[in-house]
């Protein structure tokens, strides 16, 4: 840690000689060459042992027949692409996959629109209203997932839920005793609302921070030039928010595509499997039914979809000058 600043300076500022050439680097003492690796070591060890290694094993397991019997006996039975064939030829998989994609797209879009709207709104609110809104957002964000999920079940309860009571009170008598969980679509709608409710605070605060960091004289300059409202937003706010918006879109896609706890807790993928998404399928095939090979194949397929969806952005991230020194 102690020599960080020294090395950082030699790397970060243009040195007298145009680039620190190989000759100079070779003369660096060993302790300095080893330093970055020593600092990375704890993170690398944990990530390799508990993420990369299990991930490789999942890949290997996806080519094996691994049920409870094989697991207990420690038997290794290779079956080639059997697990993949059995999944990909199962029409249910395609239905579930499509459902998961639609769910993800809807939830991500709604979260981003609401988050961006709230971020912009916070800039325009007077002090105390903004304070109240921020505290409420923080409370929503902090409430643990399982607690929130339980409350949503209670709010949407068929008989005593406050939502149905409210709807009846304002005149929609048909909602007396109405069950929100009889169809997959309405079950997923409730789950979507729950996920959005939990995800918006993070998005809103991130984007708000981007907006606040925009120098205010830019807005004044825009105002002098006659820009107002929408055009000022486009000219001034948008450039500073856009990279953040891309980042939170990336994160939201990752998180919403993999949502499991909420879907499982609400109806275990029911009624009749109609709200089952890919992570739930993964759980059902794997931990619930002990077909770990099949389950691993589902995981690999999920990963393929995610990589396909986010590939361009990841390449952008790795190649951008921002990851350079």
Partner 1 sequence: MLHKSPAQRVALAVFGLVLAGFFLFPTYWMFTTALKTPAQILSPAYDLVPLSATLKNFVNAITKPGFTTFLTNSLTVTLGAVAFALVAGLLAAVPLARLRFRGRKGFIMLVLVAQLAPLEALFVPMYLIMRDADLLNSLWGLLLVYVAFTLPFTVWTLRGFVKGIPIELEEAAMVDGCGRWGVFTRVTLPLLGPGLVATSVFSFITAWNEFLYALVFMREKDKQTLPVWLSSFKTAFGTDWGGIMAASVIYAIPALIFFLLVQRKLVSGSTAGAVKG
Stretch of residues binding partner 1 (CB under 8 A), selected from 79-87, 100-108, 184-192, 287-295: 287-295
Which of 1, 17, 18, 224 is the binder for partner 1 (CB under 8 A)? 1
* Binding flag, residue 199, partner 1 (CB under 8 A): no
The answer to the question of residue 312 lying near partner 1 (CB under 8 A) is no
Tell me which residue has tokens 């595509």: 257
The answer to the question of residue 49 lying near partner 1 (CB under 8 A) is: yes
Least Å distance, CB 264 to partner 1, is: 9
Number of amino acids touching partner 1 (CB under 8 A) = 120
The residue (of 188 and 207) whose beta carbon lies closer to partner 1 is 207
Residue 29 interacts with partner 1 (CB under 8 A)? no
Binding segment toward partner 1, per CB under 8 A, in 31-39, 79-87, 99-107, 177-185: 31-39
For 12-45, letters b (16+ CB in 10 Å) and e give eeeeeeeeeeeeeeeeeeeeeeebeeeeeeeeee
Instruction: Note whether 103 binds partner 1 by CB under 8 A.
Output: no
HSE at residue 221, side-chain half, CA atoms within 13 A, is: 8
Q: How far is the CB of 81 from partner 1 (least distance, A)?
A: 18
Q: Which listed residue (101, 165, 182, 221) binds partner 1 by CB under 8 A? A: 165
Alpha carbons 33 and 25: distance in angstroms, whole number: 9
Subset of residues 241 to 280 that bind partner 1, contact rule: CB under 8 A: 243-244, 246-247, 254, 258, 260-261, 279
One of 101, 140, 189, 221 touching partner 1 (CB under 8 A): 140
Given 79, 197, 214, 270, the residue binding partner 1 (CB under 8 A):
197
Told to check if 39 binds partner 1 by CB under 8 A, we report yes
282-295 as b/e: b if 16+ CB within 10 A: bbbbbeeeebbbbb
| Binding of residue 307 to partner 1 (CB under 8 A) | yes
Q: Segment contacting partner 1 (CB under 8 A): 87-95, 100-108, 181-189, 226-234?
A: 226-234
Minimum distance from CB of 288 to partner 1 (Å)?
Answer: 11
Site residues for partner 1, window 64-93 (CB under 8 A)? 66, 71
């Amino acid at each position: 840690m102690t020599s960080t600043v020294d090395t950082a300076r030699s790397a970060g500022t243009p040195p007298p000689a145009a680039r620190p050439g190989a000759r100079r680097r070779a003369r660096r003492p060993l302790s300095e060459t080893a330093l970055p690796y020593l600092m990375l070591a704890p993170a690398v060890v944990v990530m390799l042992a508990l993420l990369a290694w299990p991930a490789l094993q999942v890949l290997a397991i996806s080519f094996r027949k691994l049920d409870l019997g094989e697991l207990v006996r420690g038997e290794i039975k290779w079956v080639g692409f059997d697990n993949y064939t059995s999944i990909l030829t199962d029409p249910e998989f395609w239905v579930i996959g499509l459902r998961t994609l639609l769910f993800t797209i809807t939830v991500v879009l709604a979260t981003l629109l609401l988050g961006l709207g709230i971020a912009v709104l916070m800039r325009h609110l007077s002090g105390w209203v903004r304070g109240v809104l921020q505290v409420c957002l923080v409370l929503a964000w902090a409430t643990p997932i399982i607690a929130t999920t339980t409350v949503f079940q209670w709010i949407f309860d068929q008989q005593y839920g406050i939502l149905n009571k409210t709807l009846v009170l304002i005149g929609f008598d048909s909602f007396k005793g109405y069950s929100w969980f009889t169809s997959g679509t309405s079950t997923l709608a409730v789950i979507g609302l729950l996920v959005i409710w939990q995800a918006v605070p993070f998005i809103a605060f991130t984007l708000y921070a981007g907006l606040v960091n925009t120098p205010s004289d830019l807005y004044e300059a825009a105002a002098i030039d006659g820009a107002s409202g929408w055009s000022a937003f486009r000219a001034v706010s948008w450039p500073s928010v856009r990279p953040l918006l891309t980042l939170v879109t990336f994160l939201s896609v990752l998180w919403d595509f993999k949502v499991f706890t909420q879907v499982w807790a609400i109806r275990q993928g029911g009624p009749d499997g109609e709200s089952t998404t890919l992570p739930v399928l993964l759980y059902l095939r794997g931990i619930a039914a002990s077909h770990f090979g099949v389950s691993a194949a589902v995981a690999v397929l999920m990963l393929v979809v995610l990589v396909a969806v986010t590939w361009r952005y990841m390449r952008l991230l790795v190649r951008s000058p921002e990851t350079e020194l």
